Structure 1
């Protein structure tokens, strides 16, 4: 099928997509290129959200079109990964704006919700009439939030009273619901609540002056005596073990996101190298430029291999995701830097694409666990000794 090539996928992972999956991905790429790509530069500079593209993307039925569903109604992990890759190949913000809803929020609802909650909310999650985000991190607790969560939930009859604050919450100001994680007062449980964002006592404010993921509206959330009925609590979330269980199936998305961003940066770099002439010929013919391009492709191959492996053989432990994130983020950071270098001074222009990926890689490098924390997690597994605290 024409219209869906992946320069940089030299090992041919995309060749394993079915015709129906390739057709759906081609439809997604055509929509992104025709409607979103033309506004990226201006919106990135202004830090303007891409929320208005969510419902048109929902209208493509990327996740529920019968043509891409298996007999049991599920999606092939490879196809789902390539959906994330396509979004990140355009821009990380587009992936977070869309995927934070149908990926992270939906996954938590399915993993933690009751059958009645899932039945009531899932159709709206898919068509973006019931929007939501995941709120875990806090102003004073990021990497140590599991042991230091300050947000609390107090039982009061058939309702709960929430107090605390959350920080760096993606999509919070464009969501109708906030999935708040809180520690139960007087108990040991960690609970999840789907809180209407217009509830009395909820305040949301966009974090300004970001240099990465500028079109994602990360927010501070303040919770002051917020009343939440029991029926808005996800009953199958009672601790961090349940949250980890919920998100294991999404852990491979880190590698897919990193691969997509690298493919976008590489496409910009190889196109520029073929067009840009110095010393009387295109720079693509110089050894130093070819070395950069080859290293980019090698990084893409490694990252895609991780993505495909973890998609088709789901992660069943809490250590492997840290290793995947560490490797994928390292490869991403190097690739986008090489793409920017390849374009010389023109590489710092937003119109050249590479610098968007260069800046956004810094967000990817840090979120979902910093490199230091992931190193400590893997190191503890290898040695049996924890170096987190003295």
Structure 2
């Protein structure tokens, strides 16, 4: 079964196979031996075989190369198990999510029916150790983020908020008891998480200007204030809320349950991007939180920053996924769309756009690949993550713009996917730190001077 899965996922020879032709082929060659031989090929050999097969078409027929945004073959740097997981996620996104995503994006609703199937992938909490988590390298967390965003950035954001920000806050800042209570259920997607940091009046300066407050009254913590742009918050079971202690003036973290008195989440409407993501404005009115639900190892904004540093690399990978999805959609379109008697992919100006897109995409891919390697090596810094966020979100904007351009007027229609990527790229550009804030983090690192006010 493993051999069959490997061959099907890697080269697709058995998909929609013609059984009559297979029977005739069996008369000519030993299929069992052929299958065993194919199963022992590595990825490089399989790609060579497929290249040869793709050029064995009918005489005179122009065989086009496959559509693949991994031009430098970075997938060859993955282990066999990592590659299988990548393809497992890709197949899920293609089979389960792509057919419904435009409809849900257009209606600004969330496809709750995919959550149970999503859980079966067992990819939640990828880099965490214990609590049912896979405990895989950070590189695989990035690869997964790219594969999800390659089809839809909204679903990738839902997953990143839950698995990265919410679970990550408990994993890094929670007590052993809190981890045991929440992480296994969140890993199985039985409980959904959200992360409340940004506020209506403060975003980039939230570390110093946080207005949401907390005060211990001797028995409970009392939270007051508002949070804005909080993904998943309309349906999340647990929301990580960050608030400033009115006594110590230090930022603390809290596990807020949706049933806590004084907690209210109102869906934000009329967004032009990430329309599937259920963002909310959270209002906390004398919201009582037990001391046992205070994140025991979150005692200042430095602890909050640890979570953000860990997840910022994932946002850079999301940008790569968005860009790759747009590039591959545009390339596919230009091969089929004909003007003046031939496919527009054959024209010089269109090819120039495609090459510009691929150049940026390839640079982004190699950057985030190294970024995750550094994270796995334990040498990742804030400025490393910030540089990737800055560069990848900027280049994604350029790629999705060119993808829309080569599609002409059809580029603004949801049916071709690129319109969705164009809109969602704008959200990636701003969240997890704006371009300006991340630039200043890098600028401080390379000059020694802080330009923050």
Fold shared by both chains (TM-score > 0.5)? yes
SS of residue matched to 1:228: strand
2:161 equivalent in structure 1: 100
**What is the CA deviation profile of residues 359-386 of structure 1, one whole-angstrom value per residue up to 9, with x for unaligned ones?**
1000001111111222222233333333
**Aligned residue pair count:** 384
Match of 1:41 in 2: 102
3-state DSSP class of the match of 2:93?
Answer: helix
Which secondary structure state, in structure 1, belongs to the residue aligned with residue 234 of structure 2? helix
**2:414 is aligned with 1:350:** yes
Give 1:16 deviation, angstroms.
1.7
Q: Match for residue 439 of structure 2?
A: 375
Q: CA deviation at 1:32?
A: 2.0
Deviation at 1:63, TM superposition (A): 4.7
Q: In structure 1, the residue corresponding to 2:228 is in which secondary structure?
A: strand
Contact 1:6 1:263 (8 Å CA) reproduced = no
C-alpha distance in 1 between matches for 2:382 and 2:307: 12
1:302-359 Cα distance to aligned partner (Å, 9 max, x none): 1111211111112533222221111011110000001111111111110001111001
Is the partner of 1:204 in helix, strand or coil?
strand
- Matched with 1:340 is 404
How many Å separate the matches in 2 of 1:204 and 1:371?
28
> Quick one: distance in 2 between partners of 1:210 and 1:252?
25
- The one of 429, 432, 441 aligned to 1:365: 429
Which residue, out of 390, 394, 405, partners 1:326?
390
Q: After superposition, give the CA deviation of every residue in 1:15-72 in whole Å (9 maximum; x if it has no partner).
A: 122222222232222222222211112111111113332221111213589xxx9xx9
**1 CA distance for matches of 2:247 and 2:165?**
29
**Larger RCO: Structure 1 or Structure 2 (Cα < 8 Å, ≥ 6 residues apart)?**
1
Partner of 2:351: 290
Q: Which residue does 1:118 correspond to in 2?
A: 179
Which stretch of the first structure deviates more once superposed, 373-382 or 351-360? 373-382
2:365 is equivalent to residue 304 of structure 1: yes
- Cα distance 1:334–1:192, how it changes in 2: closer, same or farther (>3 A)? same
Computing the radius of gyration from Cα coordinates, the structure with the larger value is 2
CA–CA distance in 2 between the matches of 1:14 and 1:135? Answer: 35
1:235-274 mapped onto 2 (5 Å cutoff): 235-274=296-335
1:75 to 136, 142, 146: 136
Distance 2:163 2:315 in 1: 15
- Give matches, 1:39-188, under 5 Å: 39-63=100-124, 74-188=135-249
Distance 2:268 2:315 in 1: 23
Q: Any idea what the Cα deviations from partners look like across 1:210-240, whole Å, max 9, x if unmatched?
A: 0000100111000000000000011111111
1:191 is aligned to: 252
CA deviation map 1:190-224 (0-9, x unaligned)? 10000111211111111111000010011100000
Ranges in structure 1 where 5+ consecutive residues have no aligned partner: none
User: How far did residue 242 of structure 1 move?
Assistant: 1.1
- More moved, 267-276 vs 55-64: 55-64
Within 5 Å, give how 1:22-41 maps onto structure 2: 22-41=83-102
Q: Does structure 2 conserve the Cα–Cα contact (< 8 Å) formed by 1:276 and 1:282?
A: yes
Task: Indicate if the aligned counterparts of 2:125 and 2:164 stay in contact, CA closer than 8 A.
Answer: no
Tell me how far apart the structure 2 counterparts of residues 80 and 383 of structure 1 sit (CA, whole Å). Answer: 31
* Change over 3 Å in CA distance of 1:354–1:100 after alignment to 2: same
SS in structure 2 at match of 1:373: helix
Structure 2 distance, partners of 1:19, 1:93, is: 29
SS in 2 for 1:198: coil
TM-score (normalizing by structure 1): 0.94
Give the alignment's TM-score, normalised by structure 2: 0.81
1:154 and 1:56 map into 2 onto residues whose CA distance is 41
Q: Deviations over 1:235-262 (max 9, x none)?
A: 1111111112233232211221111111
SS of 1:134's equivalent in the other structure is strand
| Native 8 Å contact 2:264 2:284 kept in 1 | yes
RMSD over aligned CA atoms reads 1.9
Aligned to 2:291: 230
Q: What secondary structure is seen at the aligned counterpart in 2 of 1:49?
A: coil
Unaligned segments of structure 2, at least 5 residues: 1-5, 11-65
Q: Distance in 2 between matches of 1:304 and 1:298?
A: 10
